[in-house]
Structure 1
Amino acid sequence: MKRRTSFKKNAGAALALAFLSLTISCSDDNMPNVEPQQKTIAAIVSDNSSYSLLKSAVVKADLAETLSGTGPFTVFAPNNEAFMASGITQEAINSMAAADLKDLLLYHTLTSKVTAANVPAGPNAEVTSANGDKLYLTKDSRGVFVNGWKVTSADMAASNGVIHAVERVLMPPKGTIVQMAQANANLTYLVAAVLRASQGSTNVAQVLSAEGNLTVFAPSNQAFIDAGFPTIASIQSADPDTLASILTYHVLAARAFSSDLSNGQSLTTVNGGTLMVALGSQATVKGNGNEMPSVITSFNMLATNGVIHLIDRVLLP
């Protein structure tokens, strides 16, 4: 009798356990799938140590509240490595005026949600950023590019939009090609050459200031010195038409970011000549009259009427 009673107790317990398991299982099946709540763009940047420089800039620019708002926004976000590669340190951020930082960060922002799949193919499709300046987007088999710089990680979802990591800080244009050259201490020889060339039959300064889309491969001061112009005075005494022929050989009648250049590409300049591009451990461009190619030392300096690439050798037709 004791054995039978024990058997009944065990059977009853097993039946109760099975019923409880079935009840829980049915209850779980009926529960809705609740997605974890996404963070805002500001919170994602704040919580990621790789974006500490961007966070510092956002805080100083007083944009944390904006990027925590409803949006939606798209932010092209440079991480710490991108800031450093662009020459912008924490000290540089500290020294910038809050208004300038705000303008810079809003240039990285769109006032709509644009995932990588919805980026226009372009090339260089023009969109307006939150600060009112233009960004140029390209999507192809290599990925997404903004002003020539690659998106290194796309579609980080936020509750108020999306973040795309980009490999450099995007610098808004600060003037025409001529104005940007005048503001660059490493291009004083080029500016002198443009002014001297404009005294001949071709007004090169007017060409480089005109509205439109241009690309200029801009030789550094040292490049002019190496080409036989040891001083600015030597440039000012050169034949204007000879200088004009050389300078217009450095200009393309289209905007060509680094993302638009390919290995072995032939480029036609505004004076009718051709340049040859080579992409390897370094990016180079070579003129027909050059024994050695010129190294492109700095890319994608955006102007209101085009883009500038710095080079270390004067290109010869």
Structure 2
Amino acid sequence: MEMLPRHFRFEKTSEFFAVSNGVIHVIDGLLLIEESTVKSKVETQPEFSGFRELIGRMDNSDGSDNVFMEALNPEKDGGKSVTLFLPSNEAVSRLPQEQKWRLRNDRAFLTRILDLHLISNSQHPLLTVDMVNGSSTATAQGRRLSFHKTNKDGNVGLPSVRVDGVESRIVQGDIACSNGVIHVVDSVLGLPFLTVLQILQAEPNLSRTFRAIEHSKDLKAALSTSGNNVTIFAPSDQAWLNLNQGDLARMTSHSHLMTKVIRRHVVHGRRLDGQALRREERFTTIPGDIQIKQAYAENDRSKADPPRIVLSWKGHSASIITYDIPAVNGLIHVLDQVLFDQDFDITQASLSRSNTLTSSVFIAGQLFSLGLFLIS
């Protein structure tokens, strides 16, 4: 793969011809000179109108230059190349109304989000082939973007870009410009656009937690409403499989048991990120208090890494293995165990329902006897 002037790349084929003064390589494209700058493409291409509208919010009332738009101008960047991650029109249109309102009315917030999309501190543009899986780079303002590639059926597609826990997929990469390159992404970087429930449904490792929530209509509604603010400690699929399979089967077949367990993992009205959890000793869910502890991994004798956060309830513990997955209505933390107690969740619950049923039968019998007495 060769990088040519004006940032075009072409794949060399296996064909080449030796000549007396060198060699000729056959390539799979026609060499062209791209005259359009990143700025001019953003300003003129209809498929970029959604992002162009966001940038327009940076216009100054005194008529001075739009700072972000001018950063795309080769005359302003000191000869450095520009790499722009540009959200598609669809990505901008599907933002929740609350986020659209904030982007329109909070200039500082808009500036922070726009800065995530621009890399302008390099002599060469960042092309998709440079985005090695697990690598990262800094934006113009020093924020870190990391890149990830997924191997599906032996094929590695275009990379995704991750920042602040939000992942966006490049859907069209390496659009050449005279002063850089544009990558079209399927969401606005740094802005979650899915609800907690939608993320649980989409994440393969959390499918069992999603199915558990479906047992409770109220909880399902709370996690799917964008105006809410919730924190959920979602057990991974493996965490559910770690349970006694008989207990798991009983919970799955009795909605009231599953609802009782899953509600323990949800905090309503609070957005508890990892930093907040490290400052607190406990939090309250519907069934009661959950204690928060911090513990170093057994093999981390140097204590170089921060301690992991461990939740404790009735002598049972679960560690957070993934922190701060953002949603439009809250945060998700992934647990390695389910906070579950067999005696409390299964035995006592079964006895309680049995006693309730017995009481109901007794009351019904008393009412029936009273009816016979009145008739006689």
How does the TM-score come out when normalised to structure 2? Answer: 0.42
Structure with more relative contact order (C-alpha pairs < 8 Å, separation 6 or more): 1
Return the structure number with greater strand share.
2
